[in-house]
Amino acid sequence: MRTFVRGAARWGVESPRRPSRVAGVAMAGFRVCELEALRMVPHPAVTLLLEFGAGSPVLDCAAGRQQRESFVAGPGLGSGGAVRARGKNVECVQVRLSPVIAGAILGASPAEFDGAVVSLSDLWGREALRIREQLGDVSSWQDRFALTDALLARRHEARPPVDPEVAWAWRRMVASRGLVRVEGLAAEVGWSRKRLWSRFWSQLGLPPKRAVKLVRFDHAAHRLVAGEGAARVAAEAGYADQSHLHRDVRAFTGATPATVAVEPFLAVDDIAWPSRGSTAVRGPAE
């Protein structure tokens, strides 16, 4: 397990040695003695957090709501800076699911979350408790990843995928890093605009224009974390100007680009998901 240090943050981080059997799945393991008010920065994937062990993470959400056990959240978790994570002696496997395969694995479309954080026990019932106990019973992180991957693969095979046209539109957005004109996507797949918008939203959990903005923001935010200047990032990441970038970052995080550039939630990605490379999605892109 590697140690990640960023400001006051000091976390143990582990990554799987083998890729998932399901395209669009990425995993990382975390062990944190003291997690203090970590800002959850939105990213274009569905988050599945599987906690186990003696400690427990606490997710402080909007309107004073809290989540204290394993959970699922749709794309864009933390928009507006409204969600913070904290806790002591936290151990968890965090899974990032491409929206294209999330519905099949979870047994529910990301659209059903409607931007909320959903308890995994509410979604999976007793299976959520079983996976928690199984993760706690094994001592190796690689065994935990294998256990989680087997569960995800089994659930994925049992349910139908999203429409191929919807999957294609999503992949176009990711491949372009959010620099695709969504108005032209319907014509490219041979659908009406209304049909694409409706299917995309119902199957992936967010409308196409929001998806493009989220993918573009994620790419820009990681360039800021890598030390690139805001003016250059704005010019090369598809923003009209630096003020446009500032407004987008503020809308997604509630913070300025300078603050986002030092966020531990983003900086840990190079350790937690080393295969991410330069893709716009941190983890799954399929």
Domain CATH for 211: 1.10.10.60
Q: Look up the domain containing 246 and give its range.
A: 164-276
* Model pLDDT, residue 277: 42
The C-alpha atoms of residue 103 and residue 79 are separated, in whole angstroms, by 21
The C-alpha atoms of residue 178 and residue 212 are separated, in whole angstroms, by 5
Q: Are residues 242 and 205 in the same domain?
A: yes
> Which residue, 137, 157, 177, sits at the end of a domain?
157
Half-sphere exposure of 286 (CA within 13 A, CB side): 13
Q: Are residues 137 and 41 in the same domain?
A: yes
Q: Are residues 197 and 237 in the same domain?
A: yes
Q: Are residues 126 and 30 in the same domain?
A: yes
Q: Are residues 169 and 134 in the same domain?
A: no
277 Cβ contact partners less than 8 Å away, ≥ 6 residues apart: none
Q: Are residues 17 and 135 in the same domain?
A: yes
* Model pLDDT, residue 161: 86
Number of domains observed in the structure of the chain: 2
* Model pLDDT, residue 276: 55
CATH number of residue 78's parent domain:
2.60.120
Give this prediction's pTM.
Answer: 0.92
Residue 284 covered by a domain: no
Residue 208 covered by a domain: yes
User: Do residues 285 and 279 touch, judged by C-beta distance below 8 A?
Assistant: yes
Q: Are residues 213 and 233 in the same domain?
A: yes
Question: Is the sign of the CA dihedral 175, 178, 179, 185 positive or negative?
Answer: positive
Q: What is the 3-state secondary structure (H, E, C) of the chain?
A: CEEEEECCEEEEEECCCCCCCCCCEEEEEEEEEEEEEEECCCCCCEEEEEEECCCEEEEECHHHCEECCCEEECCCCCHHHCCEEEEEEEEEEEEEECHHHHHHHHCCCHHHHCCCEEEHHHHHCHHHHHHHHHHHHCCCHHHHHHHHHHHHHHHHHCCCCCCHHHHHHHHHHHHCCCCCCHHHHHHHHCCCHHHHHHHHHHHHCCCHHHHHHHHHHHHHHHHHHCCCCHHHHHHHCCCCCHHHHHHHHHHHHCCCHHHHCCCHHHHCHHHHCHHHCCCCCCCCCC
Q: Are residues 241 and 103 in the same domain?
A: no
Residue by residue, pLDDT tens for the chain (286 residues) are: 999 999 889 999 999 999 999 999 999 999 999 998 899 999 999 999 999 988 888 999 877 889 999 999 999 889 998 899 999 999 999 999 999 999 999 999 888 887 789 999 999 999 999 999 999 999 899 999 999 999 999 999 988 889 999 999 999 999 999 999 888 899 999 999 999 999 999 999 999 999 999 999 999 999 999 999 999 999 999 999 999 999 999 999 999 999 999 999 999 999 998 865 433 344 455 5
112 Cβ contact partners less than 8 Å away, ≥ 6 residues apart: 205
> Which residue, 120, 142, 157, sits at the end of a domain?
157
pLDDT tens readout for residues 198-242: 999 999 999 999 999 999 999 999 999 999 999 999 999 999 999
The C-alpha atoms of residue 270 and residue 144 are separated, in whole angstroms, by 21
Residue 283 covered by a domain: no
For residues 106-117, b (16+ Cβ closer than 10 Å) or e, as one string? bebbbbbbebeb
What torsion, rounded to 10 degrees, do the Cα atoms 21, 180, 252, 246 define?
140
Q: Are residues 37 and 66 in the same domain?
A: yes
* Model pLDDT, residue 282: 43
> Which residue, 142, 157, 172, sits at the end of a domain?
157
Q: Are residues 36 and 13 in the same domain?
A: yes
* Model pLDDT, residue 279: 36
